């Protein structure tokens, strides 16, 4: 007989959504197993912007002070430079929350932080190097997952399986859930370049004819996101590294003399952008959340925070049902109903920004300051609107509804 493990809830995927849900359920006394296929959380160029909505949740949990002791940078405003004019787009100083800034820290530090909190809870079990390979089906419902770990095959039986295994979710495919592709006209090249103490503190976006570049302040280096047309990396690569470095400097003159750090293409990582969502997030015994339910564009850096909001809502809705057994399909649908509107609204804004701002720039525009940026420059109070949308999102969740 093969090895078996039984739990109330099995969460597949140790990303922000999966880890947050696992800890919150265990905190409510629900026996929970989180499966992470890797041995650690060290994956470079993952989302690492912790927005005010998430910081507010950490405050509600009583974890904020410990979290802010981790090495991090703070973003209090976001600016862009278009046609040689610099404009402040978002000013977080007026948000009605305790932390009026975005915290930047590597995602692996955030996940380690959650794992440490989970380790103090008797109901929490994190199993790493444990990859879910398929669903266990019984009487037409999901009853667990098949797993491969360091010791071989393992069956995890659960009253509920939560797929938080990312935008290429194996479990949602096995469940036959239909993904609606909303379209993405861009990809992103990620890289690191040196930062000097005299450089600006704020996040900076640069738009020049045919190019768009975002710089995230990571202390001693800039984390750079260079936006290209969808599927355009091979064209960029064929033009050569010298041409690419020159394009970076033309787009952001601040980088002059620093692009030599990119001495080979291994230093440039491709993020393939997709924007999609499931039509149905669940079937009996299975619920999808986070990127497994909806892949977000990197615009605004909101993906990690939307995933965490999913986890908070799911924990609040599911915990009472899990105390007595398997949640019925109506309970699972309540999670989708709660989180589908914020997802759709956020994706709609991202597609709008992609089509109205990013696509024209990549097509050779960027020589004129668009009307929205002229308004933000002339009327500073308007900067509170994008700050609210980026910092808090639509329908921010709390531990208690």
User: pLDDT, tens digit, for every residue of 142-169?
Assistant: 999 999 999 999 999 999 999 999 999 9
Q: What is the CATH number of the domain that holds 334?
A: 3.50.50.60
Shared domain check, 296 and 161: yes
- List the 73-75 sheet strands across, edge first: 49-50, 102-104, 73-75
User: pLDDT, tens digit, for every residue of 277-302?
Assistant: 999 999 999 999 999 999 999 888 89
Using H for helix, E for strand and C for coil, what is the string for 273-316?
A: CCCEEECCCEECCEEECHHHCEECCCHHHCHHHHHHHHHHHHHH
Q: What pTM did the predictor assign?
A: 0.92
Q: Of the residues 219, 248, 271, which one is the last residue of a structural domain?
A: 271
Query: What's the full length of the chain, in residues?
Result: 401
Q: Which of 97-111, 227-241, 274-288, 352-366 has the lowest mean pLDDT?
A: 352-366
Q: Of the residues 218, 244, 271, which one is the last residue of a structural domain?
A: 271
The first and second tokens of residue 64, run together, are 């904020």
pLDDT at 365: 63
Shared domain check, 323 and 267: no
pLDDT at 81: 84
Q: Is residue 288 part of a domain?
A: yes
Q: Which band of pLDDT confidence, cut at 50, 70 and 90, is reported for residue 366?
A: low
Shared domain check, 227 and 286: no
- Whole-number percent of the chain with pLDDT over 90: 72
CB 306 within 8 A of CB 319: no
Secondary structure letter of residue 250 according to DSSP: H
The first and second tokens of residue 8, run together, are 């109330």
Total domains present in the chain:
2
Higher pLDDT, 75 or 22: 22
Q: Is residue 159 part of a domain?
A: yes
The first and second tokens of residue 166, run together, are 């990312």
CB 263 within 8 A of CB 320: no
User: pLDDT, tens digit, for every residue of 309-334?
Assistant: 999 999 999 999 999 889 999 999 99
- Average pLDDT value for the chain: 92
Shared domain check, 344 and 252: no
Helix (H, G, I), strand (E, B) or coil at 129: coil
Q: Of the residues 252, 271, 290, which one is the last residue of a structural domain?
A: 271
User: pLDDT, tens digit, for every residue of 100-147?
Assistant: 999 998 899 999 999 999 999 999 999 999 999 999 999 999 999 999
pLDDT (mean) for 84-105:
91
Secondary structure letter of residue 86 according to DSSP: E
CA–CA–CA angle 335, 337, 341 (5° rounding): 120
Secondary structure letter of residue 382 according to DSSP: G
Shared domain check, 85 and 228: no
Shared domain check, 134 and 8: yes
Q: Which domain holds residue 227?
A: 186-271
Shared domain check, 145 and 16: yes
């Amino acid at each position: 007989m093969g090895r078996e493990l039984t739990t109330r809830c099995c969460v597949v995927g140790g990303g922000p959504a999966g880890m947050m849900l696992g800890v919150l359920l265990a905190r409510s006394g629900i026996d929970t197993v989180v499966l992470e296929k890797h041995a650690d959380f060290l994956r470079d160029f993952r989302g690492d912007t912790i927005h005010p909505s998430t910081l507010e949740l950490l405050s509600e949990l009583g974890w904020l002070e410990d979290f802010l002791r981790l090495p991090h940078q703070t973003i209090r405003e976001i600016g862009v430079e278009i046609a040689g004019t610099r404009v402040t787009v978002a000013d977080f100083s007026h948000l009605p929350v305790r932390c009026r800034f975005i915290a930047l820290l590597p995602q692996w530090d955030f996940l380690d932080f959650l794992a440490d909190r989970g380790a103090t809870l008797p109901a929490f079990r994190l199993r790493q190097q444990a990859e879910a390979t398929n669903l266990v089906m019984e009487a037409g419902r999901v009853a667990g997952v098949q797993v491969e770990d360091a010791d071989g095959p393992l069956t995890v039986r659960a009253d509920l399986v939560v797929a938080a295994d990312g935008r290429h979710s194996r479990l949602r495919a096995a469940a036959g859930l239909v993904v609606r592709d909303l379209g993405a006209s861009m990809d992103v090249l990620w890289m690191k370049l040196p930062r000097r103490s005299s450089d600006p503190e704020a996040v900076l976006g640069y738009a020049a004819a045919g190019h768009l570049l975002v710089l995230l302040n990571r202390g001693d280096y800039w984390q750079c996101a260079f936006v290209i047309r969808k599927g355009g990396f091979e064209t960029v690569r064929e033009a050569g590294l010298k041409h690419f470095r020159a394009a970076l400097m033309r787009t952001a003159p601040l980088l002059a003399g620093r692009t030599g750090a990119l001495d080979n293409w291994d230093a440039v990582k491709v993020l393939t952008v997709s924007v999609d969502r499931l039509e149905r997030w669940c079937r009996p015994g299975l619920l999808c959340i986070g990127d497994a339910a909806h892949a977000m564009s990197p615009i605004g850096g909101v993906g990690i925070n939307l995933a965490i909001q999913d986890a908070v809502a799911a924990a609040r809705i599911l915990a009472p049902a899990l105390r007595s057994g398997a949640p019925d399909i109506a309970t699972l649908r309540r999670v989708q109903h709660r989180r589908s509107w914020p997802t759709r609204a956020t994706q709609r804004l991202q597609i709008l920004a992609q089509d109205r701002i990013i696509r024209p720039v990549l097509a050779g525009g960027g020589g004129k300051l668009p009307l929205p940026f002229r308004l933000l420059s002339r009327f500073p109070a308007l900067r509170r609107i994008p700050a609210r949308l980026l910092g808090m999102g639509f329908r921010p969740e709390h531990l208690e509804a």
